[in-house]
Amino acid sequence: MAHCIVEEAEKILDREFPVLDKGFVRLVDYLGSDQRIVQSARVSYGEGTKTYRQDKGLINYLLRNDHTSPFEQVVFTFHVKAPIFVARQWVRHRTARMNEISGRYSVMKDETYLPSDDLIALQSEDNKQGRKNEPVDRETAQKVKKLLEDNARATFETYHELLDMGIARELSRINLPLSIYTEFYWEIDLHNLFHFLALRLDHHAQAEIRAYAEVMFEMVKAVCPMAAEAFENHKLKGRSFSGKEVAAIKAMAEGQPNPLEGRDREIFMEKLNK
Q: What secondary structure does DSSP assign to 104-133, as a single string? A: TTSPPPS-B----GGG-EEEPSS-TTSEEE
Q: Count, in order, helices (H) and strands (E) of the chain.
A: 11, 7
User: Contact at 8 Å (CB) between 196 and 212?
Assistant: no
Q: How many CB atoms lie within 10 A of CB 201?
A: 17
Between CA 251 and CA 258 the distance in angstroms is: 7
Q: 3-state SS of 10-34? A: HHHCCCEEEECCCEEEEEEEEECCH
| 251 burial level (CB within 10 Å; 0-12, 13-18, 19+) | middle
Given 92, 200, 263, 265, which residue is catalytic?
Answer: 200
Q: Of all helices (H) and strands (E), which one includes residue 80?
A: strand 75-83
Amino acid 95 reads T
What residues contact 238, with CB distance under 8 A and at least 6 apart?
none
173 is catalytic: no
User: Contact at 8 Å (CB) between 154 and 133?
Assistant: no
Active site residues per annotation = 200
